[in-house]
Amino acid sequence: MIKTPEFWNNKGIVSTALLPFAAVWATATYLRDRLAKQVSAALPVICIGNLSAGGTGKTPLVSLLYDRLIEAGMHPVILSRGYGGSQKGPLWVDGTIHTAADCGDEPLMLAEGRDVIIGRDRVVAAQAISNRGIHDIILMDDGLQHPYVKKDMTIGVFDGSVGIGNGRLLPAGPMRVGFENGLASLDIVFINGNDEHELTAAIDGRVPIMTGTVVADQTIITDLDETPLLAFAGIARPQRFFRTLEKVGGVVVQSLAFADHHPYTQSDLTRLQEDSIRLGASLITTQKDWIRLPAEWRERISFMPITMQTDSIDDLLGRIKAVAASKMRDNINV
């Protein structure tokens, strides 16, 4: 659990020195994929993930798709590995019982009003979904590189402000898979924010591109009424959160970045509280960080909700429903 390295954005000395390790990553991935036995789930599987490490806006898109599928009369479920949680699963996430330490921060956040299951073995978790008998489509949160469950549709999410960084494989760069090979595995590319790194040109019409923007809810900033803020975040790109706060009118007097998925200790939180008192500031963080806080601290700390907005949602939902209908017809004809 580290902060996103700056050298992932360039092909400098550090990145170049790590290229042998990137070759090891590529070889291990190739062997795993060749040896993997792929299983087709009983329900349609729509995978929303990243070709690169680091935040791209995937989770807000998963939330949006789930909510809109519900509105369309479908019965989706979100399947997650449960990264950062101690439970192997399959486990149906319940926010009244479980914590981020049990199931991971993103599944717990997604489970607010949604059906979410975690499982390190996603084949077994997909079977548990089918056995439940009330769902008709699986939204797999992450897992584009997971070779064991067959995906009926793949959506690759990119942060337009970052693109693919230096384009190199982990750990020399942010890529989990080479851009060209990864692109060939996608049915749809979804770019979050402005395309500042010519992704559209690099894709060159080979995959349909949709766009959207993560939007912050300004209500909390309005309620704080220009109160000075001490902002902290343990996400892949904390600076993006700090910039967003200022963009919506937050008066940020201090910002502190932690590693992605950082488990906050009492020592961390006591220090944050002491700093906030010294500065006369209110504490604020991301919803993903807030969900990881001990219950007694959540009442003292605010979070800024975000949502995904996209003009492409009707097109995207139409494609998803068509894929789901085709899968179910095939199952009936078998």
Binding-site residues: 52-59
How big is the CA angle at 159 (ends 156 and 162), to the nearest 5 degrees? Answer: 125
Torsion over CA: 109, 113, 118, 122 (sign): negative
Exposure of 266 by Cβ count < 10 A (0-12 exposed, 13-18 middle, 19+ buried)?
exposed
Torsion angles phi and psi, residue 76, rounded to 5: -75, 165
- Residues facing 154 on adjacent strands: 47
Environment class of 198 (CB within 10 Å of its CB; exposed 0-12, middle 13-18, buried 19+)? exposed
Strands 282-286, 251-257: pairing is: unpaired
Contact 210, 309 (CB under 8 A): no
Binding-site residue positions for ATP? 52-59
